[in-house]
């Protein structure tokens, strides 16, 4: 009897060890339990195969891109989406599509060593996950180690010094800021509920070069079962402009597209800056909502002694330009996600305001 008990104990211990090995070493497929605590290491999810830093997507991990991206101190971004077997997002023409429980949106932030030639390598700084749990979206940030072998869960934020060569061949230095968990909520806030920002139909409606060929992203999502309800005919013109491609829109359309992508997650009636009266969604048709001859709700230092958010024909007297040009944390807009101004976008916004009559 005693021998039987010892054998049973040893068998139980062996089963526990094997179970844990399966759970944490995995079988090579994506591993996610929405009811469990997040993994401590990015590698434990198995979103990528091979060397982690190569970001080669695993089975059903689909890469995607946006027509115009939110500016984050010139960092490049590599995006992916994963959904559980048989699950699909529900189409929405104007807002972020409705994602099923278990969805993970994956965004890697990195800097090429030389923006003129990405084959010279890159440094990945962080990977942000948005995980759709049963009751909410959960924002998780993983900070990469210097060896670029893995990334560790971080909830308190961090900063990294980054050097790179920009497209003009000039060496730039950035004090890159990694947000803490509460700062994530500031931008990902719609009616006080944490939500994704990027995956809207009008942001995704473009071609993407997949390993099996070039396809429209929304058609690809539909084809593999990640999107239901999408109709191509309804969305032929439902797309924002590529801000730096003149073929995709007028000066006004490109400037407004930039402001929507970079500012409207807060500056909309349902956002955290709803008391400002400055609403920057493309669907807004009232000139005052865009700040034209609109007095700010609160002035002071952040106004630069200017009277209106936008003064037609006079970018130098417009608060919107003053705040987007500033690097002062008490003045700059957006408040989070950047430490330097987006010089190329400011030129565009100035040209748009200068052309107003």
Please tell me the pTM assigned to this model. Answer: 0.87
- Cβ of 109: how many Cβ atoms within 10 Å? 21
**pLDDT tens-digit profile of 294-317?**
998 876 788 888 999 999 999 999
**Residue 2 pLDDT more than 50?**
no
**Residue 337 pLDDT more than 90?**
no
The pLDDT score that the predictor gives to residue 299 is: 65
H-assigned helices in 238-287: 251-263
- The crossing angle, in degrees rounded to 10, of helices 343-355 and 251-263 is 130
**pLDDT tens-digit profile of 116-161?**
999 999 999 999 999 999 999 999 999 999 999 999 999 999 999 9
Q: By percentage, how much of the chain surpasses pLDDT 70?
A: 92
CA distance 313 to 302: 21
Buried b (16+ CB within 10 A) or exposed e, 48-77: beeebbebebbebbbbbbbbbbbbbbbbbe
C-alpha dist (Å) from residue 165 to 88, 114, 145, 148:
40, 5, 21, 20
**pLDDT tens-digit profile of 215-258?**
999 999 999 999 999 999 999 999 999 999 999 999 999 999 99
């Amino acid at each position: 009897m005693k021998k039987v008990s010892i054998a049973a104990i040893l068998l139980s211990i062996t089963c526990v060890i094997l179970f844990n090995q399966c759970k944490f070493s995995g079988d090579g497929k994506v591993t996610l339990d929405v009811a469990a605590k997040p993994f401590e290491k990015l590698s434990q999810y198995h979103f990528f195969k091979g060397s982690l830093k190569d970001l080669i997507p695993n089975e059903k991990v689909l890469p995607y891109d946006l027509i115009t991206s939110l500016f984050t101190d010139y960092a490049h971004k590599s995006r992916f989406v994963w959904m559980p077997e048989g699950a699909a997002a529900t189409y929405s023409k104007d807002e972020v599509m409705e994602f099923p429980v278990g969805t993970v949106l994956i965004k890697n932030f990195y800097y090429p060593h030389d923006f003129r030639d990405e084959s010279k390598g890159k440094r990945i700084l962080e990977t942000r996950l948005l995980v759709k749990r049963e009751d909410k979206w959960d924002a998780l940030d993983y900070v990469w180690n210097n060896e670029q072998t893995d990334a560790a869960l971080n909830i308190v934020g961090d900063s990294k010094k980054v050097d790179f060569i920009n497209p003009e061949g000039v060496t730039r230095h950035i004090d890159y800021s990694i947000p803490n968990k509460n700062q994530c909520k500031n931008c990902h806030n719609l009616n006080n509920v944490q939500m994704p920002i990027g995956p809207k139909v009008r942001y995704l409606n473009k071609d993407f070069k997949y390993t099996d060929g070039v396809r429209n992203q929304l058609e690809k999502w539909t084809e593999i079962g990640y999107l239901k309800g999408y109709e191509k005919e309804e969305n032929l013109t439902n797309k924002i402009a590529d801000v730096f491609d003149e073929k995709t829109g007028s000066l006004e359309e490109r400037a407004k597209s930039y402001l929507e992508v970079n500012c409207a997650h807060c500056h909309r009636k349902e956002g955290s800056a709803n008391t400002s009266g400055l609403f920057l969604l493309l669907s807004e048709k009232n000139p005052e909502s865009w700040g034209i001859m609109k007095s700010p709700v609160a002035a002071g230092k952040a106004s630069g002694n200017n009277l209106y958010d936008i003064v037609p024909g006079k970018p130098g007297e417009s608060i919107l330009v003053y705040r987007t040009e500033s690097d002062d944390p008490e003045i700059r807009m957006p408040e989070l996600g950047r430490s330097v101004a987006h010089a190329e976008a400011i030129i565009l916004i100035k040209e748009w305001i200068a052309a107003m009559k």
